[in-house]
Amino acid sequence: MGGLYEPHKYPGMLIVVEGVDGSGKSTQLDLIRSWLIQEGYDVIFTEWNSSKLVKKTTSEGKKKQILTPTTFGLIHCTDFSDRLERTIIPPLQAGMIVLADRYVYTAFCRDVVRGVDRQWVRDLYSFAVRPDIALYFTVPMETALQRIFRGRPSLKFYEAGMDLGLSRDPNDSFRKFQTRITEEYAKLVDEFGLVVVHGDYPIEKQQRRIRKVVTEQLKLKKMRPHRKGGK
């Protein structure tokens, strides 16, 4: 799995965000996306479980609640592999910035919590490239729940970890499931150099920290805006 431990050789930059549902990562990534575009950089966005290759299969499996932990893991890896080949690597080769809402670390946490062998999952994603920046958003579980409920009235079956039989109550199951995922993320911070961002801090404060990290990496890679108007 050397690819995730060594910097990639492409001229572009890969920035990923990780964290439990409701951590605020997607909001911050959207702000970074707008900022980078305004600065004149060419930006590509991709998100977890969005490949057309398996999207219909995943949707059907979730609807019928027939996905086993291993099947879930294999489908998500197929999704990731397709997006890596089509949406991530080509832009990196072209010197663009790729923003990814979730990356392989999501699988490293979710699949393991669901009982899949830790090494098996890592070997499964051994072809992945190391991100230039991996941001991990931490947030109190109650805050995550409140944010989710602002947008919809209830939790989804797999989102709440109901397939694990942790609790008959979706909210309670969510807390237990996501807490276990958080514990797995904590193990990845040092190993993969994830940059911790406190998702319960004010949005502006989070954004300033993230922009500082991104700006430093842009200077390190000597990347410059591709369009007029960028600094």
pLDDT digits (tens, 9 = 90+) for 85-112: 999 999 999 999 999 999 999 999 999 9
- Specify the pLDDT at position 231: 52
With respect to residue 230, please indicate whether it lies within any of the assigned structural domains: no
With respect to residue 227, please indicate whether it lies within any of the assigned structural domains: no
pLDDT digits (tens, 9 = 90+) for 4-62: 989 999 999 999 999 998 899 999 999 999 999 999 999 999 999 899 888 888 888 88
**Considering the chain, what is the average pLDDT of its residues?**
92
With respect to residue 2, please indicate whether it lies within any of the assigned structural domains: no
With respect to residue 121, please indicate whether it lies within any of the assigned structural domains: yes
With respect to residue 223, please indicate whether it lies within any of the assigned structural domains: no
With respect to residue 47, please indicate whether it lies within any of the assigned structural domains: yes
Give the total number of structural domains in the chain. Answer: 1
With respect to residue 1, please indicate whether it lies within any of the assigned structural domains: no
Q: What is the DSSP string of 3-66?
A: GGTSB---SSEEEEEEESTTSSHHHHHHHHHHHHHHHT--EEEEETT--TTTHHHHHHHHHHT-
Q: What is the CATH number of the domain that holds 97?
A: 3.40.50.300
Q: What is the pTM of this model?
A: 0.92
**What average pLDDT does the segment 58-81 reach?**
89
Host domain of residue 34:
11-218
With respect to residue 68, please indicate whether it lies within any of the assigned structural domains: yes
